[in-house]
Amino acid sequence: MRIYTHPACTRHDPGPGHAERPLRLVAVTEALREAYPSLDWHEAPGASRGQLLRAHGDALLALILDTQLDGPMSLDPDTVLAPGSAEAALRAAGAGIAAVDTVIKGEEKRVFCAVRPPGHHATGDAAMGFCLFNNIAVAAAHACDKHNLARVAVIDFDVHHGNGTQAIFDTDPRVMYVSSHQMPLYPDTGYAHERGVGNIINAPLPAGTGSEGFRKVWREHLLPTVDSFRPQLVLISAGFDAHRRDPLAQVELDREDFAWITRELVAIAERHALGRVVSMLEGGYDLAALRESAVAHVGALME
């Protein structure tokens, strides 16, 4: 199985004490190398401006890529643009594009992108919530526009709702966005009544939800909905901050829950998408929990 990553993704440094720190990616890549020596590691290319423009506006590209920085600049209370951020953001988005090309060409059936900064909060016009570009949205738009796919499913089990991904695709029926997330919690979007053009499916979870509640909502509601969509490609926003040890939320999952949902999504991909799955790292802020969850997730992708 192929992994896309790049050293530049560790050079986006939001500053001391920030939850979305470079050590997150170090933890993931070290854990995967130790657990699975046979993984096929590739350097992520940088996304082009044209590829980014499928999901983002010119003004956001200019802000992220053209701002001259002597030091960190706060874009909002949570989101920082630093001297290494532009290349990190380009490589993170480029990883998803390369991964989509890889599975569409049949070179691999499943690919994991070990990248940061994360992406699912970034809207078409704004960086926010630790995110600069929306990596998974850029990948989905590439799949639709470059490879002419008519049904792409974006599955998001990060504990925070991917407001940016939803906003980018809420009028695009080619992309189904399906999310479980804690509510109330940042960014206060993802209510069940938010439906887009019928392509947005949200399942808010109360604080304290554990394995049983998480699996029930996926088994009875979300997975059947994805299955009925018959996606030609499954994209995963793989956030591991619903782990019980994560400091930023209060959902009580463990590594086996991430392995379970991954296996279920792989099964849907096998039925409808020639097995094609691209997963991209999103949240997860306890390093030990992040390591074990990423290993469980990638292990399930490899089965």
Q: For residue 69, what is the DSSP state? A: -
Instruction: Give the residues across from 77 on adjacent strands.
Output: none
Average pLDDT over residues 277-281: 99
Q: What is the pLDDT of residues 165-200, one digit of tens each?
A: 999 999 999 999 999 999 999 999 999 999 999 999
- Report how far apart the first and last C-alpha atoms of the chain are (Å, whole number): 10
CA dihedral 204→209→210→215, nearest 10 degrees, is -30
Q: In what order do the strands lie in the sheet with 40-43?
A: 40-43, 2-5, 110-113, 277-281, 233-238, 152-156, 175-182, 200-205
Percentage of the chain lying above the pLDDT 70 cut: 100
Average pLDDT, the chain: 98
Q: Is the bond preceding 187 in cis, omega lying within 30 degrees of 0?
A: yes
In angstroms, rounded to a whole number, what is the distance separating the alpha carbons of residues 83 and 167? 28
Is there a contact between 109 and 276 (Cβ–Cβ < 8 Å)? yes
pLDDT of 291 reads 98
Per-residue confidence at 301, pLDDT binned at 50, 70, 90?
very high
Residue 237's H or E segment, with its range, is: strand 233-238
In angstroms, rounded to a whole number, what is the distance separating the alpha carbons of residues 109 and 274? 8
As a whole number of angstroms, the longest Cα–Cα distance in the chain is 51
Q: What is the pLDDT of residues 94-150, one digit of tens each?
A: 999 999 999 999 999 999 999 999 999 999 999 999 999 999 999 999 999 999 999
Residue 229's H or E segment, with its range, is: helix 223-229
pLDDT of 42 reads 98
The contacts of residue 124 (CB under 8 Å, 6+ apart) are 55, 56, 57, 60, 134, 164, 167, 168
pLDDT of 232 reads 98
Average pLDDT over residues 56-81: 97
pLDDT of 140 reads 99
Average pLDDT over residues 25-41: 98
pLDDT of 141 reads 98
The contacts of residue 188 (CB under 8 Å, 6+ apart) are none
Length reported for the chain: 303
Per-residue confidence at 61, pLDDT binned at 50, 70, 90?
very high
Set 12, 121, 142, 272: catalytic member: 121
Burial class of 269 by CB neighbour count within 10 A (0 to 12, 13 to 18, 19+): buried
The contacts of residue 86 (CB under 8 Å, 6+ apart) are 64, 65
pLDDT of 242 reads 98
Concerning whether 193 is annotated as a catalytic residue, the answer is: no
Percentage of the chain lying above the pLDDT 90 cut: 100
Domains of the chain listed by start with CATH number? 2-302 (3.40.800.20)
Average pLDDT over residues 215-225: 98
Q: What is the pLDDT of residues 192-217, one digit of tens each?
A: 999 999 999 999 999 999 999 999 99
